[in-house]
Structure 1
Amino acid sequence: MNADRTFRQPGRWAVLAALVVLAVVMLFPFVIVTLNAFKSPAEYSSGGPLSLPHGFYLDGIVAFWDRVDFGLKLWNSLLISGVVAVAAVVLSVLNAYALGIGRVRGRLWILVLFLVANTLPQEALVYPLYYLSKEVGLYDSKLAVILIFTVIQAAFGTYLLSSVLGQFPRGILEAAEIDGASRRRMLWGIVVPISRPTLSVLLIFFFIWTWNEFFLPMVFLISNDNQTVPVALGVLQGEKMMDATMSSASALLGIIPAVAFFLIFQRTLTRGVTVGAIK
């Protein structure tokens, strides 16, 4: 027993060392961005991107915030991502309940259709969506982006939840049906509470995925008042009037909300993944 434990110990230390090195490599760009965001242009010119700042120079962050009206862009991203996450989860639950538990006819082909929809690149969807939004008068509106990403995210959520609900214990539903519970009550009173960990994981992923979207919001949100954070960052990165410190400040402000959201719901995400693994 002791010899086996001694033999395994170096392997564990090697894995731990590899993970530490990988974490350092992944965090290094974020550390550099944070350091440069608090430098003055003179400090950046004299010391370069790897030097430590002599103090907390906040003029770059304040200048970028005022130039792009970052508070408005932040609100737009929060509104779009939050509404899409909630709406996509609800739509996924309704679709998956019919496909996974209801066992509708042609279930397999419908799931294949959802799977194919997930594989389509956004470049193939942009012109039809652009044409439709123009025709119905939703172009350059947050509602258009919300509807588009709700459908896109719900396609993945439906495919995933259909597999999960397909393994749902039938005995629980049969007992509820004997007690006189309607299908609506079984869905919201039994299926949703039991599946809450999986739904929480989907909600978090949908929010982060929508927050990071750039291509479709750039096409559909051309007004400054409707732009999201990634679009504002992408548009201003090419301006010559932005120096390196202001670019770092913009990148830092862009990633802080998503990181904060992930850290706040990290326990929920871990619990959902763990429950799914146990099941």
Structure 2
Amino acid sequence: MRRWLVLGALLVLVLLVLAPFALIVLNAVKTPQEYAGSGPLSWPSHVSLDGIRAFWTRVDFGRKLWNSAVISGAVAVLGVLFSLLNAYALGIGRIRGRHWVLAAFLLANLVPQEALIYPLYYLARQVDLYDTRLAIVIVFTAIQSAFGTFLLTGVLAEFPPELLDAAAIDGAGRLRTLVRVVAPVSRPTLGVLGTFFFVWTWNELFIPLIFLISNDRQTVPVALGVLQGDRMMDATATSASALLGIAPAVLFFLVFQRTLTRGVTAGALK
């Protein structure tokens, strides 16, 4: 009986979490007339994609989707790469003063973006990278790799020394040990980091909103925020924009769900 009660409570929590998403989908496939006449909780008489088509065309959503995918993908790859290199030096190499370096990375994670925006804006203007996707990739690679370094250093500090000794006996240098031994063994953790880096970068609004002023370089959250701010959309188009904004991130999570599961359970298996 206790097990069924726990499962019932978890089912209720799942339904509460999914309810807003279901409401978004429900209103995204309505016509404005149906929404105005029957309200947001009514079932649509037929599936209408007019709101989705109107939003897609109005904001050139295909371009925004491509920009977000390029930026998020680049940050995920580069963030994991720099995190691995830094953590390899700090966790396995154990360089001198590594505790101070880790403290610096921890402090970098605690600094709010609002405190960074003016110096980042000034630097981007000075090096002629303002209003470019490269600037966003550089900024978020630094931000995400700071967190990744702090997290991954603790993982690599517990790396089995037997594997490192075996690689040294075989004549492997530091770089080859990293590529052939450390990276493959740490692949589940790296997969989790890459997934979170991608989704976190995809959902970022504040820094891209400041840096990307050209319409053809904006990301999905910026397009949604700007369009919401001009107060020129009806409720069905608003729901369509929310659906299109969250669908890629949800799809990415579903595709890499097994990677996340392996990464979470990797530490429990010898």
The answer to whether residue 252 in structure 2 is matched with residue 258 in structure 1 is no
Q: CA deviation at 1:238?
A: 2.1
* CA deviation map 1:41-80 (0-9, x unaligned): 1000010000011111111110100000000000000000
1:36-185 → structure 2 map (5 Å cutoff): 36-185=27-176
Partner Cα distance (2:223, 2:267) in 1: 37
Q: CA deviation at 1:241?
A: 2.0
1:26 corresponds in structure 2 to 17
1:277 corresponds in structure 2 to 268
Partner Cα distance (1:145, 1:240) in 2: 27
Structure with larger Rg: 1
- Residue 158 of structure 1 aligns to a residue in which SS? helix
CA contact (8 A) 1:200 1:268 kept: yes
Runs of at least 5 residues in structure 2 that lack an aligned partner in the other structure: none
2:180 corresponds in structure 1 to 189
CA contact (8 A) 1:198 1:276 kept: no
The answer to whether residue 207 in structure 2 is matched with residue 216 in structure 1 is yes
* CA deviation map 1:184-209 (0-9, x unaligned): 10000000000001000101000000
- Residue 181 of structure 1 aligns to a residue in which SS? coil
* CA deviation map 1:87-129 (0-9, x unaligned): 0000000000000000100011100110110111100100110
Partner Cα distance (1:13, 1:278) in 2: 29
- Residue 242 of structure 1 aligns to a residue in which SS? coil
Partner Cα distance (1:50, 1:239) in 2: 25
Partner Cα distance (1:16, 1:256) in 2: 27
- Residue 15 of structure 2 aligns to a residue in which SS? helix
Q: CA deviation at 1:180?
A: 1.1
1:245 corresponds in structure 2 to 236
Q: CA deviation at 1:178?
A: 1.8
The AA in structure 2 aligned to 1:224 is N
CA contact (8 A) 1:34 1:248 kept: yes
How much is the aligned-residue C-alpha RMSD, in angstroms?
Answer: 0.8
The AA in structure 1 aligned to 2:246 is I
Percent of aligned pairs with the same amino acid: 66
Q: CA deviation at 1:240?
A: 2.7
Q: Which region of structure 1 is more displaced relative to structure 2, 268-277 or 140-149?
A: 268-277
- Residue 80 of structure 2 aligns to a residue in which SS? helix
Partner Cα distance (2:4, 2:231) in 1: 48
Q: CA deviation at 1:169?
A: 1.0
1:267 corresponds in structure 2 to 258
- Residue 217 of structure 2 aligns to a residue in which SS? coil
The counterpart of 1:233, out of the listed 224, 233, 239, is 224
Q: CA deviation at 1:138?
A: 0.3
Partner Cα distance (1:26, 1:133) in 2: 40
- Residue 216 of structure 2 aligns to a residue in which SS? coil
The AA in structure 2 aligned to 1:236 is L
